[in-house]
Each structure stands twice: as C-alpha cells, then as structure tokens.
Amino acid sequence: MPTIYDVARHAEVSAATVSRVLNGNQTVDPAMTARVLKAVRELGYRPNAVARNLRRSRTTLWAVIISDIGNPFFTAMVRGIEDVAQQAGYSVVLCNTDEDPEKENTYVTAALSQQMAGVIISSSGSAKAAKHLMESSTPVVAIDRELAKGAVDTVMVDNEGGAYAATRHLIDVGYRRVACVTGPAGVSTADRRLRGYTKAIETAPIVRRADFREQGGFDAMASLLDDERPDAVFVANNLMAIGALRCLAARDVGIPGEMGVVGFDDIPWADLIRPSLTTVAQPTYELGRVAARLLADRIESPSGKPSTIILPAEMHVRQSSSR
Ligand code: RIB
C-alpha cells in the first residue's frame, strides 16, 4: 500500500506538499500539483482516512494574531471575531506581536504546532511567518493587513481610498503643504495609505515613517515642524495621530489655523477633544465579523480560490481640518 512518502518521492516533492495538494491548498506551484496528482494516479495512492482525520482533528481553538494589544483599533475587531467564533463552536486565543516580526513568527509557530483549527492574522510583516503559514494546511485568514499578496482569504478596508480622500479633503479646504506620517515599510496598511496620500498630493510629498505608536507620531511631527514646516498633516493611524496632537500642543501650534490634522482609525473621543479630530474610520467590528465568517467557511471547505473582501472606510470631518 503506497504511503504519502512514496508519493512524495515519486513526485520529487515533500510530504507536506503532497498533503497541501490533497487538501486543495491553492498556493502550491501548478507544476508541482500536476506531479503530485500524476504520482497519486500511477501509485494508486489512497489517503488513509483515519490518518487524515487524525491530522485534521484539530482543536476547537482559533489563534487571533494582532500587532498591538494596546491599540483600541484591535479591541472592536477582536470582539467581532469572537462573537462569530463562539457561534461557530470555536474559542479564541489572542496573540500580541507588538509590531515585532520575530515575535509574530514565534506565535505562528506555536499556533501551528498546537494544531489550532485556524489562524486569523493582522501581520506585522514577518515574511518567515507568512511562509510558515502558507506551507501549512491550517486554514488562514488575513485581516486588516494583507499576507503573501492575497494568497489567503483576506478582509481589509480600502486603505488607499481612505488616505486619498483624507489628503484631498485637506487640499480642497485650502492647505497647500500637506505632509504624511505613516507606519512601518512592509506593513500593507502603512504602505497603501502612503500610496493614497501620494496619489492625492499635487506638490512634492512630505513623508515621515514611524511605528504606528504614539511616541513615533510625536517624534515624526516634531521632525516635520523642525525641517519641513507643513501646514497640514495626514497621520495614518490613531496612536500616531494622538502623538502628533501632543507634539503640536507642546509646540503651541494652532489647529486647524496653523496646522490641519486628519487621522486614520476613529478614536472613541475624537469628537470630544477640542478641536475635534477629523478621522478616516474603519468598520472594525465588521472587519472581525467577516474575517471570522471566512475562517469558519474555510475550515468547512478547505479547497476553493481565496477571496478578498474590501470594506469601505468613512471620513468623519470635524474641527481639526476645517480651515
Ligand atoms: O493602529 C494600527 C493600525 O494598524 C490600524 O490603522 C490598523 O489598520 C492596522 O493596520
């Protein structure tokens, strides 16, 4: 009776590749897939149903891997995931990577070795972790940030469109030197929001990159004030926007008169501070709900082409950009 290892040798691939092909994983190279299926036919291989069920009999746990447990953006998103997971009979294990690719890889390794039923990840950009996930047969959904160029089910907002609208709004109300503070290179939300800003700007881009954290936003704003002196700034996430506001207050820069400000990610009290903050809001709970639905469906039906769902981002215009 030929085994999966005989098929692997015959097709000159690894046993893991054979497993992925037989589980309908779409990321396997088509030539490899053909070699595996040919070897299965020629050897008359029949997957061992008991072994396959043992392999598949995973826990009823989902690993939800996020990049910053301290960021309120992720709170509502994880709530949306958990509500659907519970209804589908799964429990959630929350993993915080601290925007650290190495820590992300550690969590991905743990999730796979613990036979988690599925993984939902907002990636901090670890190529190693993405490769590890792609090579496993564990169902994966990318949420908020893309993973391996859409090779898995993905749900996110229109980051580029939201950033474009924010920048155009600042230009349309009369600001002429609009800067952008975005997140780390290689993180899809940071790069796509920068792309939206760059498409909208009519003058030379004025850009600072930071770490999606409050102090990073403060330092980026200080650098812009010292070196470029823009008259407006689009800040690509909530925590950096808070940092930028703290810097402008410390330097006694008037908002919106001397500096227009638009952030990304609504902040619960954005309309309570004075001046109230203009933001591009994401449907965070819905992001979580849709991602969880995608994962539950993928666990039930492992084969089939991955889907990408883009939810709209909505700008809430308030005082900080109303020149
Ligand atoms: O604040 C963290 C940022 O990273 C959010 O804008 C969210 O979109 C995530 O990508």
Which CATH number is 17's domain given?
1.10.260.40
- Among 67, 68, 69, 120, say which to mutate for ligand 1: greatest number of ligand atoms within 8 Å of CB: 67
**150 and 89 in one domain?**
yes
**153 and 168 in one domain?**
no
Residue 157 pLDDT: 97
Both tokens of 110, joined, read 């743990």
Residue 192's H or E segment, with its range, is helix 188-200
Beta carbons within 10 angstroms of residue 59's beta carbon: 14
Predicted confidence band at 51 (pLDDT cuts at 50, 70, 90)?
low
Residue 57 pLDDT: 56
Q: Which atom of ligand 1 is nearest to the CA of 190?
A: 10
212 lines ligand 1 (CB under 6 A): yes
**274 and 173 in one domain?**
yes
Predicted confidence band at 196 (pLDDT cuts at 50, 70, 90)?
very high
Residue 204 contacts residue 222 (beta carbons within 8 Å): no
**277 and 163 in one domain?**
yes
Could you read off the pLDDT of 253-269 as tens digits, one per residue?
Answer: 999 999 999 999 988 88
Tell me, what CATH number does 78's domain have?
Answer: 3.40.50.2300
Whether the CA torsion 148, 150, 155, 157 is positive or negative: it is positive
**293 and 244 in one domain?**
no
pTM: predicted TM-score of the whole model, two decimal places? 0.81
Q: Count the domains in the chain.
A: 3
Collapsed DSSP state (helix, strand, coil) of residue 245: helix
**278 and 163 in one domain?**
yes
Closest C-alpha to ligand 1, atom 6: 237
Question: Is residue 75 exposed (0-12), middle (13-18) or buried (19+ Cβ within 10 Å)?
Answer: middle
Rounded Cα gap, residues 230 and 237, in angstroms: 19
Beta strand pairing call for 308-311 and 260-264: unpaired
Domain around 250: 159-282+315-321
